Amino acid sequence: MAKRITVLATICATMIAVHIVNLGIGGALLSFGIDPRDLDSIYTIFTAPWLHADFAHLFGNLASFVVLAAICLLNGIRYFLKASMLIILITGALVWAFARDNIHIGASGWIFGLWSLVIALAWFDRSWRNIAISLAVTFFYGSMAFGVLPTDGYISFESHLFGALSGVIAAAILSKEPRQVAVPSKAGELKFWS
């Protein structure tokens, strides 16, 4: 449990540190946001989630990120990291390919990906735990579904939409991977089988 908290705290601290550095250099890091269809900036699909416009944007994202990442971390650190990489990669690639010509920044695509992943796991990996989590997340965070609609020109609804799609894709991919199951041996020790 302590390792999972450390991973979550490190990610949040990194986002805050990046924002403070960005403020200190006059917002110069915002050029590392996704600039759709610019071949020279395709690498920014990995940098954009760490950048935020202001503290309201940052802390608004962190509030949801902490809860949804913590839920995803229930499946283990390795699972969370794989899911996050898939979500960031797929979301960023789709935003780069199809979004409006604006600079797209923020962790909201990642957040929407985690949101849809924990909901979709009820379908792809049908355990009572996943169904209960899915119902709880749908109840408490169901209004996030409206975030995929283009309501504000300053909000990247594309990141939200593609993030939600990426979370479902990640759930489908990761649910097909063999998981280690603890099986007691004759001596009472746990052996792990894939």
Q: What angle do CA 46, 164, 91 make, to 5 degrees?
A: 25
What per-residue confidence (pLDDT) applies to 166?
98
Contact 170/117 with Cβ under 8 angstroms?
yes
Q: What is the pLDDT of residues 33-65, one digit of tens each?
A: 999 999 999 999 999 999 999 999 999 999 999
* Cβ within 8 Å of residue 49, ≥6 positions away: 88, 92, 106, 107, 109, 110
pTM of the model: 0.89
Q: Kindly report which listed range (41-50, 100-109, 156-165, 169-178) carries the lowest average pLDDT score.
A: 169-178
Mean pLDDT (the chain) is 92
What per-residue confidence (pLDDT) applies to 116?
98
Q: List Cα–Cα distances, 124 to 93, 119, 120, 172, in angstroms.
A: 24, 10, 6, 6
Contact 104/95 with Cβ under 8 angstroms?
yes
For residue 193, pLDDT beyond 90: no
Average pLDDT over residues 187-192: 52
Q: What is the pLDDT of residues 85-102, one digit of tens each?
A: 999 999 999 999 999 999
Average pLDDT over residues 7-30: 98
Domains in the chain and their CATH numbers?
A: 2-193 (1.20.1540.10)
SS3 labels along the chain: CHHHHHHHHHHHHHHHHHHHHHHHCCCHHHHHCECCCCHHHHHHHCCHHHCCCCHHHHHHHHHHHHHHHHHHHCCCHHHHHHHHHHHHHHHHHHHHHHCCCCCECCCHHHHHHHHHHHHHHHHHCCCHHHHHHHHHHHHHHHHHHHHHCCCCCCCCHHHHHHHHHHHHHHHHHHHCCCCCEEEECCCCCEEEEC
Give the pLDDT band (50/70/90) at residue 186: low
